[in-house]
Chain A
Amino acid sequence: MADEKSTVVREPTKNPNMPLSWRKETKPHRFCPGCGHAMALKALGEVVDELGILDRVLYGCDIGCSLLSWDFFNFDSVQTHHGRTIPVVVGAKRARPETIGIAYMGDGGGYAIGAQHLVNAAQRGDQITAILANNTLYAMTGGQLAPTTLPGQKTGTTPYGREVRKTGSPLQGPELVAAIAPAGAYVARGTVGEYQQLKGYLKKALRNQMEGRGFSFVEVLSTCPTNWRTNAKDTWAFLQGEMARYFKVGELRVPEPAAPGEEE
């Protein structure tokens, strides 16, 4: 085993825009042009670099488009089943607590098929970092209704728009987690539209785990031009407009006292 406390720092090499944690052999990545996943993952890679924890990370990804990140990084990764990334990472973390466990998933995985795992890991205070990309629909399967689909939004299974009376209102995930997680939890909602802010949230979420304080959860408002059937301009407008209006960006739970040396 490598020294668990080691800090991995390497000099930036050829592409200064590419995080060291990014695996260049698997780039260009497999996401559609304009997909928010790539932005969120880039931010995550940079944060792992900045924290120097490359050798301690176990990265788990879900089914759905997030699975395309299975070989995205230079850290050890495991692709699991739909909704089951949290329990895999929880199992690893419990068995070897020095592991930095990152569970990456979409809104279907976290809020629908795997909602019980998110709820229970949060309420147990499992010391992992869950990152959930919210793009308001099931992307990989062709754009169906998700718990996060906005009222009136058209998807493959709500062709006339989501009717709140029939299928409910969009789930507010971070609000749910913030309400049930015990002390020590870090909960935030960021957006790929505010890159530096998102990075800050991800860093705090990982620090929270490194310091052994509790569960950390970051929802990332993300984009899916393919299933939204939007051009670049409309994609951005939907993210920064309708989505941001419904899903409030910001920190919902910050453990007190704040960890020393936290920027932002």
Chain B
Amino acid sequence: MKEVVRKGCTVFSDHGPAFGWDGGLLRKGGRVIKETQLTGEYGAVLEKEQRSFMTGNEVVAWAALAAEADFMYGYPITPQNEIMHYWSRLAPHFGRGFLQTEDEMAAGFAMLGGALVGKKTFCATAGPGNILMQEPIAMAEMMQIPGVWIIQQRGGPSTATVIYSQQELRLTTAGGNGEGLRIVYSTASHQELFEYTIKAFNRAWQYRFPTFVLGDGYQAKLREAVTLFRPAAKGWTLIPAEPLVRGPGIPALDREPVHLRNTFNIEEELYARLEEQLAAYERLTPEVVEWEVEVGPETEVLLVAHGIVARAAKQAQKMLNQQGQKVGYFRPITVRPFPGTALRQAVGANPNLRLLVVESAYGQLLSMVKAELYGLTNPIDTLLKPGVGVTAEEIVATVTKRAPKEVCHGG
């Protein structure tokens, strides 16, 4: 089995957001947002669809522009700063906004304010900033206020390094003081950074759960090729933002006033609300979940990795297979919701299959994998390197060391 399961940019589902303002939009089959004319020197970049060579942070700024984001609220922290730099350079040419706030909490809460009055808002952060950002994200989750967060993971815990890690996986997927009802894409290339950032805006404003692009310092700073484009040119429908407050009509005269809250008086009241939200999250899961898998009945070792480490894993898989080993590959693209069913299918058919979980963290992906494979007896090996990059050669060495001798000489 070799498949890449990706979902379209727009999902037309039978159900709208869990509750709140008129969710009829999507039931009616979607409405195309009126795209801004992307004119001038900057607009031409998207229009021409040419391959460009740039850093990941720059890619994100272009993607937000292409996704018709209205406003970015930001606070400096390495390694995401250049997203703000590029956005604040681009934004005025297209009537978009930027505000540098006093901290990440302010940035996150200001995002929610902007989204409440009907604008597409986003923010980028990392490390300790991601910790502070969990407070507004918790409110977004409770009240189902849409927003897009770009996380460029740096080393942790604490200040650690400004460089790179995959140690914010747990925080990004399950942070806050609730159930982690979020959508998180873990990207592995600049092309993905561009496309999933656009997709993230659509998912956020469709389902109204906090939506993330989980990148890292390497992706932020490295330069590689990417093709930028206008979503409309690919037939991608952008989902418009609608006001949750200050919508049409005069409150109390034409309509009821909108009173939004995140506080509840009694347990049962909260429980009822959460049940509703959890059901909505369950419904969206099959519509959203994405993964990449390469496995067969012959496969002896399945490499499991996400984000940029998945690139090393894929490269290692190729090298090992050239040596005659039988190595497969599984990569969750959505790390929340996690493609558990797909992983179980890839593993479950073959009781002799060993897994090798590889990540730049100490078991954050591993614990997700274990949870999904509960009850299966396949052995799990690990290559866990918290806070540092993983190369294909290291993965090859790990697999080779563990493999029985005869396989070693088979290549």
Task: Contact check, A76 vs B257: say whether CB atoms are below 8 A apart.
Answer: yes
Task: Please give me the residue from chain A that is nearest to B105 by CB atom.
Answer: A84
Task: Contact check, B106 vs A92: say whether CB atoms are below 8 A apart.
Answer: no
Task: Contact check, B252 vs A91: say whether CB atoms are below 8 A apart.
Answer: no
Q: Is A27 an interface residue (CB 8 A)?
A: no
A117 to B75, CA, bound (A): 13
Task: Contact check, A91 vs B248: say whether CB atoms are below 8 A apart.
Answer: no
A85 to B146, CA, bound (A): 18
Q: Mark B244-257, 1 if CB is under 8 A from A, else 0.
A: 01111111111001
Q: Mark A72-105, 1 if CB is under 8 A from B, else 0.
A: 0111111111001011111111111001000000
Task: Contact check, A87 vs B250: say whether CB atoms are below 8 A apart.
Answer: no
Total interface residues in chain A, CB < 8 Å: 41
Q: Report chain A residues within 8 Å CB of B246.
A: 56, 58, 76, 92, 96, 99
Task: Contact check, B118 vs A91: say whether CB atoms are below 8 A apart.
Answer: no
Q: Is A70 an interface residue (CB 8 A)?
A: yes
Q: Is A6 an interface residue (CB 8 A)?
A: yes
Q: Report chain B residues within 8 Å CB of A91.
A: 71, 73, 99, 109-114, 116, 121
A120 to B105, CA, bound (A): 13
A120 to B104, CA, bound (A): 13
Task: Contact check, B116 vs A54: say whether CB atoms are below 8 A apart.
Answer: no
Q: Is A8 an interface residue (CB 8 A)?
A: yes
Task: Contact check, B114 vs A94: say whether CB atoms are below 8 A apart.
Answer: yes
Task: Contact check, A90 vs B257: say whether CB atoms are below 8 A apart.
Answer: no
Q: Is A231 an interface residue (CB 8 A)?
A: no
Q: Known contacts being A94-B71, A120-B101, is A8 close to B250, with CB within 8 Å?
A: yes
Q: Report chain B residues within 8 Å CB of A77.
A: 245, 257-260
Q: Is A1 an interface residue (CB 8 A)?
A: yes
A87 to B139, CA, bound (A): 13
Q: Is B234 an interface residue (CB 8 A)?
A: no
Give the shortest distance, in Å, between A39 (CB) and chain B (any CB). 21
Task: Contact check, A99 vs B117: say whether CB atoms are below 8 A apart.
Answer: yes
Q: Is B70 an interface residue (CB 8 A)?
A: yes
Q: Mark A43-70, 1 if CB is under 8 A from B, else 0.
A: 0000000000011101010010001001
A10 to B251, CA, bound (A): 12
Q: Is A35 an interface residue (CB 8 A)?
A: no
What are 14 sample pairs from A and B whose C-beta atoms fall under 8 A apart? Answer: A8-B250, A55-B251, A58-B117, A74-B251, A84-B109, A84-B135, A87-B106, A88-B109, A91-B112, A92-B117, A95-B119, A96-B117, A119-B102, A120-B102
Which residues from chain B sit less than 8 Å from chain A, CB to CB? Answer: 70-71, 73, 97, 99, 101-103, 105-114, 116-119, 121, 135-136, 139, 143, 245-254, 257-263
Which residues from chain A sit less than 8 Å from chain B, CB to CB? Answer: 1-2, 6, 8, 10, 23, 54-56, 58, 60, 63, 67, 70-71, 73-81, 84, 86-96, 99, 116-117, 119-120
Q: Contacts A76-B257, A95-B114, A96-B117 known; list 18 others, CB within 8 Å.
A: A1-B248, A6-B250, A8-B250, A70-B259, A71-B259, A75-B252, A76-B259, A77-B260, A81-B135, A87-B109, A89-B113, A90-B113, A91-B73, A91-B111, A94-B113, A95-B113, A95-B121, A120-B102
